[in-house]
């Protein structure tokens, strides 16, 4: 099944997304929010909105692109994700997202699809952008460009500037999926086995949200307006109930970030956060 190279350069129609404070609180709980983070969990506090909530309104655009690639969906992996914040995310809004396939690159064993999604409010003002990559196993070798080299973000050989360790719950994926990603791989044991896993796995974007909360604590003093961007590669599988440790090393105006499990397995790598 040949991948649809004709998608490159094409923009989607605007995809609307409306939400309120209940959706932002549900998301915060889905990525492990605790009572100590009441500003993000209680409408009496606003509530404030986690910057990584930016992945939720644009998620439909990623699903749409994946569906238009003309490939076996079981061969698709979410490779990388980056959010770019133009301002603090409001606790309720009417948004629209326009996505564009920036490139489909030949990586030999597979194809790498890079998509940029721009999200604006109902006045046309930008709120945040998402850049995500989709890796399609078995669709390489078509003779295309290999694409730009991946950004290297290896931790320096010193102690991290912050380290946050938290356990996920056994129900974490069941809670996170209520924010929009209903893939049964994360809920149904039979589907998980069909996908090659002993049991349902945690959404990569849920791990991304856990890491985003750790960055807020360790680098931003809990202030979401200080996080300007955060991007990472999904490099390992997390199971609900795993413990996640996120570490950050300040290098100039950015933090190099890693997230690993209790076994020391790195699950988010090549990660950079721009925290003012």
The active-site residue, picked from 15, 83, 201, 256, is: 201
The phi and psi torsions of 214 (rounded to 5 degrees) equal: -65, -40
Query: Range(s) for CATH 3.10.129.10 in the chain?
Result: 5-137, 162-275
The active-site residue, picked from 84, 181, 218, 231, is: 181
201 is annotated as an active-site residue = yes
The active-site residue, picked from 180, 204, 212, 248, is: 204
Q: Is the peptide bond before 186 cis (omega within 30 degrees of 0)?
A: no
d(CA 235, CA 150): 13
Average pLDDT of the residues of the chain? 95
Q: What pLDDT, in 10s, does the model give residues 211-269?
A: 999 999 999 999 999 999 999 999 999 999 999 999 999 998 899 999 999 999 999 99
The CATH class given to the 162-275 domain equals: alpha beta
pLDDT, position 106: 95
Residues 54, 130 contacting (CB under 8 angstroms): yes
Q: What is the DSSP letter of 128?
A: E
The active-site residue, picked from 89, 110, 180, 186, is: 186
Residues 6+ apart with CB under 8 A from 148: none
Residues 221, 237 contacting (CB under 8 angstroms): no
204 is annotated as an active-site residue = yes
154 is annotated as an active-site residue = no
CATH number for the segment(s) 5-137: 3.10.129.10
186 is annotated as an active-site residue = yes
pLDDT, position 152: 79
Q: What pLDDT, in 10s, does the model give residues 5-48?
A: 999 999 999 999 999 999 999 999 999 999 999 999 999 998 99
pLDDT, position 1: 55
């Amino acid at each position: 099944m040949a991948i649809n190279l004709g998608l490159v350069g094409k923009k989607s129609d605007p995809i609307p997304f409306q939400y309120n404070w209940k959706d932002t609180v549900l998301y915060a709980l889905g990525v492990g929010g605790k009572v100590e983070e009441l500003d993000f969990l209680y409408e009496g506090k606003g509530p404030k909105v986690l910057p990584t909530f930016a992945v939720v309104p644009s998620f439909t655009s990623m699903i749409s692109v994946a569906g238009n690639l003309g490939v076996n969906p079981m061969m698709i992996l979410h490779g990388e994700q980056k959010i770019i914040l133009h301002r603090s995310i409001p606790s309720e809004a009417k948004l629209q997202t326009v996505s564009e396939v920036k490139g489909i690159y030949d990586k030999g064993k597979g194809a790498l699809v890079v998509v940029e999604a721009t999200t604006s409010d109902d006045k046309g003002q930008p709120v945040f952008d998402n850049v995500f990559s989709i890796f399609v196993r078995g669709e390489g070798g078509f003779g295309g460009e290999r694409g730009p080299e991946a950004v290297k973000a290896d931790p320096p050989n010193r102690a991290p500037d912050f380290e946050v360790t938290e356990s996920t719950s056994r129900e974490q994926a069941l809670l996170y999926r209520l924010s929009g990603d209903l893939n049964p791989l994360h809920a149904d044991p039979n589907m998980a086995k069909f996908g090659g896993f002993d049991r349902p796995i945690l959404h990569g974007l849920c791990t991304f949200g856990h890491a985003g909360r750790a960055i807020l604590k360790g680098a931003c003093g809990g202030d979401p307006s200080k996080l300007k961007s955060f991007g990472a590669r999904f490099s390992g599988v997390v199971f609900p109930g795993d413990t996640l440790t996120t570490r950050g090393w300040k290098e100039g105006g950015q933090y190099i970030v890693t997230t690993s499990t209790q076994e020391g397995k790195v699950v988010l790598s090549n990660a950079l956060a721009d925290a003012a």
